[in-house]
Structure 1
């Protein structure tokens, strides 16, 4: 097999986004996927704001918006809406509305409420451009990412079973190439990224510790055919045996059942097993006549790899961390991994990475994943069916979650926009935060200039005083002149993953050279010098 720069194992959202990020920076990528065809099984029904902003920065938001419009049309039909508006009409209507932070999701089944969210909150107001692209189901997301990869020349090989990796010399820990062993032969590469799921063959082979907590529940998700659904409640419903949600699309059932998980999770979910679980949790003697596609089974097994790197092999997505899928946090966490790793690995391969850049992948993403694991554990604890937990849930839902400030905080946390990295010494906000929706005084938005995966320097000085700092880095930095007299608007240097690594402050106007010094420190630390 011909050598490639990077082999990505796994064509899920994490692997596909990562492959696209690498290809944007002229890295040769091959994706190997065990499943012969894209899996239409219902999984995550949406993405969060931070993930939608990743798509926005790569010009993929319109495709996500169309997928959301299709989902809305299906949900309205399920709810009995007799409207005849087409998906295109729904999409156009949504785009014409004034921008708001889309409040969607829940915490342990306690729905976030739009009426309790302060839309004037500056944290939320900075992330409103992607509201119409959040409701993209995972299958549609994988399709649009695969098409994106194909346009960039990524080779996606399906139906290839990966058995493991080996070094071209005695060790995987030196600077030699890596060989991926498969049932279709050996694939040599400079680097390998294992995005092959929670049971990662590569992670297990390398002996990377996967530490955490054992499961205490089993969950199911499917689109099923019922003889009669009159006894099922719409939305989220708690019961003594767990929690279930029916809808919002026809036949969709999601449930959590506390107790002993199945001994063999690899056995396909039978119609009888699904029906027994639905009856047990809901208390309704429903009769299932069929399942559209395939029913999925999951647990709250919660674990994280101690290290995300072993020589020239890196872990991303579920290969690096697993947890209960409540709120779709796993999908979004994996996309964040891919966005963070892609440009760093590409810079390393292209020889322009600052020293230690690739090490910042684990330093930045490992703590984020640890936080998400605890976030999901807390939800599981709050979902138990005993009376004491029910009382606690009522207090949180009726007292805490009815406070506007608390609702704003929970919405911001679940949406991923509160991620923060230590990217500069003694940095003040917004440095280290996600850029969000930055509108330009000249024309357009910052995201419009980020489609090719480069850093973006938005220079808002009246005289273009920061241009010189990146003049020699045109291959890596897009310079955007956006002159304004408004000193409340900062000049920004934004990484390819949307993280602000430098910004001017109002104090810079009276401190000669201070902004230049900080910019001159940020560039060699993150961009490099050539």
Structure 2
């Protein structure tokens, strides 16, 4: 019977990123996927800034930027012939090469206007390095992460159907191995992560409650051939029957209809079904002549697992939460799960995890998912085609989103950079936030030191007092000496998932050193060196 440290069920973006995070830490990981090859079905069309920063920290930013450039080229040809200003504006903004915060998102179909965004806002300005690497469709992301996993030696087994899990003992205890039953035989692992989607077989088998709200709409997305698309508006359009979006790449159409539910949610979407819905919602008698790949059908069913863990089995991505997919929130939420769980599970497997570390996966990620569910519910509420909702959209779009401060806050929330964790007893900014762009005096960046998945300590003190604290833990922490001319710039301890676990001013006293020691013990399982015996040992920035 084969054994591995961790089995990840599902080779979607969540599963692949999680597997790579585990492999970075030396964990033996096997990914089991029922599909023979990556799914080319059109799904999320981009990633948010927080997700792009995950790729940046692992050295994958150039690959993501290349995908971004290819998509802009395809979308540009479509937009140049468009009569819709919002589509042209979206592409024009994405074509720019300057380091500006990307504003190519939307809320309930209301596109964010770049001219109303305050680019001097320090919250946004701290997250601009990945501006030209966010237009990465889900299929391309899976290919990119699959290549990353291959370089790290991850064992990905495709065409394997998982039937269930059982414990090697009487049950799935915390101290026993897990057996994964498949149509290709059994695989034994110390831990299992189910990243097997919203209809997760493993979640259902374990009886984990999946609580939330029932769907009100059904949506479809596909790449199609049309005999005459001239009657369709490009960009987002509300109608009395729902909402649709045509573009920004040729042939792409998304349509959502309220009320009517399909007779069989599991049946493949036929060309006739898609055409009937497109005609009803758009009010345009278009004829669909062809379908590229498969069409997807989805709803705004919004549910969340009551628990993310059952013994040695954990849930991640859509297996832990589902909701309407507007703005690709599900993709980004799953990537956030993976990067949060990866290093914590690896620490547990490798035997150095501080007490309670793995439990923080649920305590940190579950509230984020609950917020995203509400964020998508609010958007669905604004999509209805009745006159009352139309007037509400006027108020939100014309009166609220035109205020720079309001729009900046909405953009920060939708881009994922505003998420925050309680990582210390006495938390003050920026502790608990995502690090973003941290530039060093040498011209390098914090992300350059995070490629191998270690913690990163940036010491901006004049005497290197903080790098000395971790001189015996370089296997776990990359310590970077970067004395700051600007005393307002803080020293930082950043976790492998990019979250700031500790910060101190350049003029920090002994209290800051004690707080650093506490953060090192709580998150990295490291005790700081004694100040009186510490010697300089660091990487120059």
When the two structures are superposed, what TM-score results if normalisation uses the length of structure 1? 0.96
Which residue does the alignment assign to 2:348?
348
Which SS does the other structure have where 1:164 is aligned? strand
Q: Give CA-to-partner distance per residue, 1:225-260, whole Å, 9 cap, x none.
A: 000001000100000000000011110000110013
How far has the Cα of 1:96 moved from its partner? 8.7
- Corresponding position: 1:521 with 2:527: no
Instruction: Tell me if structure 2 keeps the 8 A contact 1:53–1:436.
Output: yes
Which residue does the alignment assign to 1:386?
386
Separation (CA, whole Å) in 2 of partners of 1:248 and 1:95: 13
Separation (CA, whole Å) in 2 of partners of 1:298 and 1:226: 22
Which residue does the alignment assign to 2:33?
33
Q: Give CA-to-partner distance per residue, 1:134-158, whole Å, 9 cap, x none.
A: 0001000000000000000001111
State how 1:389-408 maps to structure 2 within 5 Å. Answer: 389-408=389-408
Which residue does the alignment assign to 1:456?
456
How far has the Cα of 1:162 moved from its partner? 0.5
Q: Give CA-to-partner distance per residue, 1:350-401, whole Å, 9 cap, x none.
A: 1111000000000000000000000000000110111111111111111111
Alpha-carbon RMSD: 1.4
Separation (CA, whole Å) in 1 of partners of 2:350 and 2:450: 19
Which SS does the other structure have where 1:486 is aligned? coil
Which SS does the other structure have where 1:211 is aligned? strand
Separation (CA, whole Å) in 2 of partners of 1:427 and 1:133: 31
Which SS does the other structure have where 1:472 is aligned? coil
Instruction: Tell me if structure 1 keeps the 8 A contact 2:212–2:303.
Output: yes
State how 1:287-366 maps to structure 2 within 5 Å. Answer: 287-366=287-366
Query: Any unmatched runs of 5+ in structure 1?
Result: 83-92
Which residue does the alignment assign to 1:262?
262
How far has the Cα of 1:185 moved from its partner? 0.7
- For these two proteins, the number of residue pairs brought into alignment is 517
Which residue does the alignment assign to 2:498?
498
The alpha-carbon distance between structure 1 residues 425 and 95, as it changes in their structure 2 partners (threshold 3 A), is farther
Which SS does the other structure have where 2:132 is aligned? helix
Moved more, 188-197 or 420-429: 420-429
The alpha-carbon distance between structure 1 residues 332 and 233, as it changes in their structure 2 partners (threshold 3 A), is same
Instruction: Tell me if structure 2 keeps the 8 A contact 1:261–1:299.
Output: no
Which SS does the other structure have where 2:230 is aligned? coil
Separation (CA, whole Å) in 2 of partners of 1:134 and 1:201: 31
Which SS does the other structure have where 1:3 is aligned? strand
How far has the Cα of 1:80 moved from its partner? 3.8
Separation (CA, whole Å) in 2 of partners of 1:385 and 1:486: 53
Separation (CA, whole Å) in 2 of partners of 1:98 and 1:156: 38
Which residue does the alignment assign to 1:124?
124
Moved more, 150-159 or 466-475: 466-475
When the two structures are superposed, what TM-score results if normalisation uses the length of structure 2? 0.94
Moved more, 253-262 or 213-222: 253-262
Which residue does the alignment assign to 2:249?
249
Separation (CA, whole Å) in 1 of partners of 2:201 and 2:150: 26
Instruction: Tell me if structure 1 keeps the 8 A contact 2:161–2:182.
Output: yes
The alpha-carbon distance between structure 1 residues 109 and 95, as it changes in their structure 2 partners (threshold 3 A), is closer
Which SS does the other structure have where 2:273 is aligned? helix
How far has the Cα of 1:95 moved from its partner? 9.8
How far has the Cα of 1:529 moved from its partner? 2.6
Instruction: Tell me if structure 2 keeps the 8 A contact 1:78–1:249.
Output: yes
Which residue does the alignment assign to 1:90?
none
Separation (CA, whole Å) in 2 of partners of 1:195 and 1:211: 18
Separation (CA, whole Å) in 1 of partners of 2:153 and 2:452: 14
Separation (CA, whole Å) in 1 of partners of 2:139 and 2:521: 39
How far has the Cα of 1:37 moved from its partner? 1.2
Separation (CA, whole Å) in 1 of partners of 2:54 and 2:481: 23
Separation (CA, whole Å) in 1 of partners of 2:96 and 2:329: 29
How far has the Cα of 1:512 moved from its partner? 3.1
Q: Give CA-to-partner distance per residue, 1:278-331, whole Å, 9 cap, x none.
A: 000000000000100111100011000000000000000000000000111000
Which residue does the alignment assign to 1:88?
none
Instruction: Tell me if structure 1 keeps the 8 A contact 2:344–2:358.
Output: yes
State how 1:68-467 maps to structure 2 within 5 Å. Answer: 68-80=68-80, 97-467=97-467
How far has the Cα of 1:265 moved from its partner? 1.2
Instruction: Tell me if structure 2 keeps the 8 A contact 1:442–1:483.
Output: no
How far has the Cα of 1:416 moved from its partner? 0.2
How far has the Cα of 1:474 moved from its partner? 1.2
How far has the Cα of 1:443 moved from its partner? 3.2
Instruction: Tell me if structure 2 keeps the 8 A contact 1:10–1:32.
Output: yes
Instruction: Tell me if structure 2 keeps the 8 A contact 1:431–1:502.
Output: yes
Which SS does the other structure have where 1:440 is aligned? coil
Instruction: Tell me if structure 1 keeps the 8 A contact 2:226–2:288.
Output: yes
Moved more, 363-372 or 463-472: 463-472
Which residue does the alignment assign to 2:474?
474
Instruction: Tell me if structure 1 keeps the 8 A contact 2:72–2:95.
Output: no
Separation (CA, whole Å) in 2 of partners of 1:232 and 1:94: 23
Q: Give CA-to-partner distance per residue, 1:455-490, whole Å, 9 cap, x none.
A: 000011111111221112111100111112321111
Separation (CA, whole Å) in 2 of partners of 1:96 and 1:263: 46
Which residue does the alignment assign to 2:14?
14
Separation (CA, whole Å) in 2 of partners of 1:253 and 1:94: 20
Which residue does the alignment assign to 1:87?
none
How far has the Cα of 1:106 moved from its partner? 0.6
Instruction: Tell me if structure 1 keeps the 8 A contact 2:13–2:142.
Output: yes
Q: Give CA-to-partner distance per residue, 1:103-161, whole Å, 9 cap, x none.
A: 11111001111001000000000000000100001000000000000000001111111
Instruction: Tell me if structure 1 keeps the 8 A contact 2:174–2:311.
Output: yes
Which SS does the other structure have where 2:471 is aligned? helix
Separation (CA, whole Å) in 2 of partners of 1:477 and 1:80: 49
